[in-house]
Structure 1
Amino acid sequence: MKHNKKKKMRVLLVSFICWLTVVTVHGQDTLQVSLQQADSLLMVRNLSLIASRYEVDMADARKVQEKLFTNPELSTEWSLHNPSSGKWFDVGANGQKIIQLEKVFRIAGQRKASVRLAEEEKKLTQWQYYELARSLKYELHVSYYRYYFLNNAVTNIASRLALLRNLISIYEEQYAKGNISLQELTRLKSVYFEINNQVNETRTELVRLEQSLQLLLADDRPVRPAPAATESMLGVMPTATLPDLVTRSLENRPEIQAAKSIGNQRALQYALERKNGIPNLTAGGVYDQAGSYVNNYTALQVGLQIPLFNRNQGRIQEARLGVAQSQVLRQSKQQEVTREVESAWKIFQLLDAQYKAVGTDFEAQLELLSKGLVSNYSKNNLSLLEFTDMFESYNSSIIELNQLKADLTKSYEELNYAVGEDLQR
Structure 2
Amino acid sequence: MRFWIFFLFLLLASQVRAQDSLRLTRQQADSLFLKNNLLLLAERFRIDISKAQILQASLRDNPTATIEFSAFNNQTNRVVDVGRGGEKIISVQQLLYTAGKRNKRIALATEAARLTELELLDLLRGLRFELRSRFYAIYFQHQTLARYDRQISTIQITVTAYEHEYERNNVSLRELLRLKALLFQLNNDRTEIRFQLAEDQRTIRTLLAVNQPIRPLVRNDALTRYRIPTQPDDSLWQLALRNRPDLLASQSLNRQAELNYTLQRALARPDLRVGGTYDQNGSYIANYVGLSVGMDLPVFNRNQGAIQAARSQIGYQNQVQKQRVMQITNEVVTALQKVRDVEQMVQSVEGRFTEQFELLNQGVLTSFQKGNISLLEFVDLIETYNESVRQLNRLKADRVNAYEELNYFIGDDLFN
Cα offset, 1:46, TM superposition: 1.0
Aligned to 1:181: 172
**1:195/1:396 contact within 8 Å kept:** no
Q: Where in structure 2 are the equivalents of 1:30-69 lying within 5 Å? A: 30-69=21-60
Q: CA deviation at 1:381?
A: 2.9
Query: Which of 361, 364, 367 is the matching residue for 1:376?
Result: 367
Letter in 2 for 1:194: Q
1:260 partnered with 2:261: no
Deviation of the 1:272 alpha carbon: 0.6
- 2:415 is equivalent to residue 415 of structure 1: no
Would you say the 8 A contact 1:239–1:424 is kept in 2? Answer: no
| Distance change >3 Å, CA 289–CA 272, structure 1 → 2 | same
Report if the CA contact (8 A) 1:283-1:301 is conserved: yes
1:317 aligns with 2:308: yes
For residues 63 and 46 of structure 1, the distance between their equivalents in structure 2, rounded to whole angstroms, comes to 27
Task: Name the aligned partner's letter for residue 395 of structure 2.
Answer: L
Unaligned runs of 5+ in 2: none
Matches within 5 A, 1:85-96: 85-96=76-87
Say yes or no: does 1:160 pair with 2:134: no
Alpha carbons of 1:250 and 1:202: their partners in 2 closer, same or farther (altered >3 Å)? same
Instruction: Give the stretch that moved more between structures: 394-403 or 382-391.
Output: 382-391
1:101 is paired with a residue of what secondary structure?
strand
CA, structure 1 residues 217+361, in 2 after alignment: closer, same or farther (shift >3 Å)?
farther
* Alpha-carbon offset, residue 303 of structure 1: 0.5
User: Partners of 1:251 and 1:208 in 2: how far apart?
Assistant: 35
Indicate the SS of the match to 1:301. Answer: strand
| Structure-2 residue corresponding to 1:402 | 393
Alpha carbons of 1:171 and 1:267: their partners in 2 closer, same or farther (altered >3 Å)? Answer: same
Alignment CA distance shift 1:98-1:113 (3 Å): same
Distance 1:20 1:84, change over 3 A: farther
Q: Counterparts of 1:378 and 1:368 in 2: how far apart (Å)?
A: 16
Say yes or no: does 1:225 pair with 2:220.
no
Aligned 1:16-415 pairs, distance under 5 A: 22=13, 25-229=16-220, 232-233=223-224, 236-415=227-406
Distance 1:107 1:189, change over 3 A: same
Q: Is residue 70–residue 104 contact of structure 1 (8 Å, CA) maintained in 2?
A: yes
Task: Flag the 1:92–1:26 CA change in 2: closer, same or farther, 3 A.
Answer: farther
CA contact (8 A) 2:223 2:400 kept: no
Supply the AA of the counterpart residue of 1:173.
H
Which has the larger displacement, 311-320 or 232-241? 232-241
Tell me if structure 1 keeps the 8 A contact 2:26–2:218: no
Aligned counterparts of 2:253 and 2:187: Cα–Cα separation in 1 = 54
Compared with structure 1, are the counterparts of its residues 18 and 182 closer, same or farther at alpha carbon in structure 2 (3 Å cutoff)?
closer
1:24 CA displacement? 5.5
The offset of 1:30, in angstroms, is 2.1
- 1:385: Cα distance to partner? 2.1
CA 1:172–1:230: 2 relative to 1, 3 Å: farther
For 1:15 and 1:182, the matched residues in 2 are separated by 36
| Residue 12 (structure 1) shift | 11
Task: Point out the more displaced range, 241-250 or 403-412.
Answer: 241-250
Contact 2:175-2:375 at 8 Å conserved across structures: yes
| Identity %, equivalent residues | 36
**1:330 & 1:49 partners in 2: Cα distance?**
26
| CA deviation after TM superposition for structure 1 residue 94, in Å | 2.2
Tell me the distance in 1 between the aligned counterparts of 2:26 and 2:217. 8
Question: 1:301/1:200 Cα in 2 relative to 1: closer, same or farther (>3 Å)?
Answer: same
Q: What is the TM-score when the length of structure 1 is the normalising length?
A: 0.92
Q: Deviations over 1:95-129 (max 9, x none)?
A: 21111100000021000011111111111111110
TM-score (norm 2): 0.94
Tell me how large the CA RMSD over aligned residues is: 2.2
Aligned counterpart, 1:5: none
- Inter-partner Cα distance in structure 2 for 1:231 and 1:383: 42
Q: In the alignment, is the contact (CA less than 8 A) between 2:226 and 2:415 conserved in 1?
A: no
Q: Give, in whole Å, the separation in 2 of the partners of 1:176 and 1:234.
A: 56
